[in-house]
Amino acid sequence: MANERKERLIEQMLRERLGGHKPPDLSRSILDRLEGEGTGPQLRVVRGDRAAPRRSHMGAKPANWRSVAAAVALIGAVGIAAAAFLLNMPRHPQTPVAGGNGATKEQTKPGPSGQAVNDNPVRANQEPAPQQPDNEIAPYYETGPSRPSGDDAPEPKPEPKPGTEPGREPQPEKPREEVEAPQTPESARPPTEVPAAPAPKALVLATLLQATEGARLAFKRAEAARYEDWTADARIESGMWLRARKPVALAVGDARVYFDGEVMLAGDDATLRIEVAGDSVYIEAYGERVFTVARGDAAFTFTQAEVVAEKSGLRLNVSCLAGEVASGGATLTAGSSASLSEKGFGRPKAEGAKLRSHPLVHAVDTIFRLVRDDLDDEGAASRVYLGVVDKGVATGKGKQAFGVKLREPLTVRDNAYVRIRLRVRNSQGISIGVKGEENADWQYFQHHTNYVINDKWITLTVPLHELRSEGKGEGKDKPLFSGAIISAFQVISWDDKSTIEIDWIEFGIDPKWK
């Protein structure tokens, strides 16, 4: 019985010490027993808000005192025995907290910076605790304040799993068959590169046909930039400035631009603006492109025309060799010249064929032209054998529309062309041809052009090597060859009711056909 009672006392003390159970309050039962054995004045023992009348044990009998002392001695003996038993029990290793610092759970507490601080760090010379067998359950010792019981006790916090940080929610484990791709932190990810838009290509406006020896052609891409010497791979782009000391020839679509001095070209496929900064520019405009020539606020426009514009202070001297040009509400017709300011044209002056004696035009004629006939001289009427000449324009009707003898026989050269300015009515096609000398072995070469624009002045250019022989036998369909001699030129209509007007004809050399 004594051993059983001792074991009960030890278990009760363990529950109170380790399990957080409060010991029973025996003061009330002890006082009740004392009151039942003795007499004396009554006292009220106050416990909380409740008060109960109690008798004082003062003046009790000596026997009662001895019984109380015996009870106290018995409790002290039991306490000493329990303490001796606990001191002799073997210690078991505590479960370490994840982190590998050797501290037990009750020894680890958060520090000021949020990191774990070990109250009882393992010394360097301390031997490690013996490992506990897997089949033995180690007792769990918890120190600190007693755990509250009842409904007010908080739910125990789950212990963090190894490999997780305190305060972070555990992530659900993924199935083993799924392979998780490594996650790249936002700060380590490279910035998303947006491909830059490609820079727009500059529009090529013209090509270089020929530069006179000693021209020293140079270019720059902005007015404030410095000039650079022309190179073989350079291109004439919109907004480019050009400078030359002697005539330079440019091809702008079907048109030709000649200049000596300084000019700026800008535009697109439908328009071209030429700014005259120095000396002069000569333009042969063919096709539908709209040309504008300017110097400051003085400007004029045209489409189908031959024009010379020369710098004169802040003004331009304009000469119209063919077609007509316009500035504001005024026009300048072929064979006349006038001064141009920001207010428009001055009084025009009729000069006729003398306009071709301009230095730039004469240089171009010498280099590129073989024969030019404007049909405005005194002998033009006698040279035209098909059609009628009136004020520099020849008019023919029917199929045999126009024919003219050249002033002098012309020898065909390489890269030669024939160019005419004409207007056709009521005919969908024409044929142009040349005749040889009367005693030559061949007589006639021609070229057929379909779908000619009607009721509008156009400029037609044909390389001479595209003309074919109309003879018979071995000479049929033979191309016009270099060295052949030409004496006449004519235009044939495909319709009997047609009308054809001829402004001028020209034979020349074009580097474009090589």
Question: Regarding predicted confidence, which is higher, 67 or 297?
Answer: 297
Axis-axis angle for helices 27-37, 62-88 (nearest 10): 160
Confidence check: pLDDT of 493 > 90: yes
Band (pLDDT 50/70/90 cuts) for residue 28 is confident
User: What pLDDT, in 10s, does the model give residues 287-328?
Assistant: 789 999 999 999 999 998 999 999 998 899 999 998 899 998
Euclidean distance between CA atoms 156 and 20, whole angstroms: 14
Cα atoms in the Cβ-side hemisphere of radius 13 Å centred on 83: 6
Euclidean distance between CA atoms 129 and 143, whole angstroms: 20
Give the 3-state secondary structure of 75-136: HHHHHHHHHHHHHHCCCCCCCECCCCCCCEHHHEEECCCCCEEECCCCCCCCCCCCCCCCCC
Residues facing 92 on adjacent strands? none
Query: In Å, what is the CA distance from 179 to each residue of 4, 152, 168?
Result: 61, 45, 23
Domain ranges of the chain: 2-43+53-81, 204-366, 374-509
CB atoms within 10 A of CB 240: 20
Band (pLDDT 50/70/90 cuts) for residue 169 is low
Fold match, 204-366 / 374-509: yes
Q: Give yes or no for a contact between 512 and 209, defined as CB atoms under 8 angstroms apart.
A: yes
pLDDT of residue 74: 77
Confidence check: pLDDT of 8 > 60: yes
Q: 10 — phi, psi (to 5°)?
A: -65, -45
pLDDT of residue 73: 74
pLDDT of residue 266: 94
Q: Which helix (H) or strand (E) holds 88?
A: helix 62-88
How close are the terminal C-alpha atoms of the chain, in Å? 135
Helix (H, G, I), strand (E, B) or coil at 243: strand
Confidence check: pLDDT of 182 > 90: no
Q: Which helix (H) or strand (E) holds 5?
A: helix 2-17
Axis-axis angle for helices 62-88, 2-17 (nearest 10): 70
CB atoms within 10 A of CB 364: 22
Euclidean distance between CA atoms 267 and 280, whole angstroms: 20
Confidence check: pLDDT of 107 > 60: no
User: What pLDDT, in 10s, does the model give residues 378-428?
Assistant: 889 999 999 999 988 999 999 999 999 999 999 999 989 999 989 999 998
Task: Confirm or reject CATH 2.20.25 for domain 204-366, answering yes or no.
Answer: no
Euclidean distance between CA atoms 434 and 466, whole angstroms: 12
Helix (H, G, I), strand (E, B) or coil at 123: coil
Task: List the structure tokens of 500.
Answer: 């054809």
pLDDT of residue 32: 76
Question: Regarding predicted confidence, which is higher, 163 or 383?
Answer: 383
pLDDT of residue 238: 92
User: What pLDDT, in 10s, does the model give residues 205-237?
Assistant: 899 988 888 899 999 999 999 999 999 888 899
Euclidean distance between CA atoms 16 and 27, whole angstroms: 18
pLDDT of residue 473: 64
Question: Regarding predicted confidence, which is higher, 82 or 361?
Answer: 361
Question: Regarding predicted confidence, which is higher, 142 or 311?
Answer: 311
Q: Strand 305-312 relative to strand 240-252: parallel, antiparallel, unpaired?
A: unpaired
Helix (H, G, I), strand (E, B) or coil at 353: helix
Task: List the structure tokens of 317.
Answer: 């001297």
Question: Regarding predicted confidence, which is higher, 501 or 109?
Answer: 501
User: What pLDDT, in 10s, does the model give residues 476-489?
Assistant: 788 888 898 999 99
pLDDT of residue 139: 45
| Residue tagged 């278990």 (tokens) | 11
Q: Give me the mean pLDDT over the 13-34 stretch.
A: 76
pLDDT of residue 43: 47
Confidence check: pLDDT of 184 > 60: no
Confidence check: pLDDT of 60 > 50: no
Euclidean distance between CA atoms 463 and 480, whole angstroms: 10
The residue among 495, 489, 502 whose CA lies nearest residue 387 is: 502
pLDDT of residue 157: 55
CATH class for the region spanning 374-509 = mainly beta
Confidence check: pLDDT of 200 > 50: yes
Q: What is the pTM of this model?
A: 0.56
Mean pLDDT of the chain: 77
